[in-house]
Amino acid sequence: MKPSISMHILGKIMTACISSVLFSLSIAFILYTPPATGSEDFLFRSFLGTWLVYLTYSGPVYLVGGIPYSMLADVLLKKLRVSKVVNYGLAIVLYAWGGAMVPFVIVVLLAFDDILG
């Protein structure tokens, strides 16, 4: 039985939320500076504060850019009539490219808005 469109979108939203939480946790863990080793004027003294800042920036990128790109990639992959192995390889390349390009496009659009505004 094929899942409905709304369940498919809900799955994408849940995946984007989980991915943004995991991504921001990993970045916060890697870049966190404990208060004892950081300078006194350091803005974020807690791990939670650092994590929330990264979540605030990564969450919209996953939700606004990642979900539409993922749905577009799904449509493109369904239209291709190739073997499962080739389709799987193309999916890896297509999703990896989207994972790199979606944040880049969003940053460029925000910078372009700052230049014009």
Query: What's the confidence (pLDDT) of residue 8?
Result: 87
Confidence (pTM): 0.75
**Closest CA relative to residue 17, chosen from 68, 84, 67, 53:** 67
Helical segments of 66-117, H only: 67-79, 84-116
Tokens of 85: 């192995």
**pLDDT per residue as tens digits for the range 24-77:** 999 888 877 776 665 666 555 678 888 898 899 889 989 998 999 999 999 999
Query: What's the confidence (pLDDT) of residue 85?
Result: 93
**pLDDT per residue as tens digits for the range 10-23:** 999 999 999 999 99
Query: What's the confidence (pLDDT) of residue 17?
Result: 94
**72 vs 94: CA distance, rounded Å:** 10
pLDDT at 113 over 70: no
**pLDDT per residue as tens digits for the range 67-97:** 999 999 999 999 988 899 999 999 999 999 9
Residue pair 31/50 in contact (Cβ under 8 Å)? The answer is yes
User: To which residue do tokens 């920036």 refer?
Assistant: 57
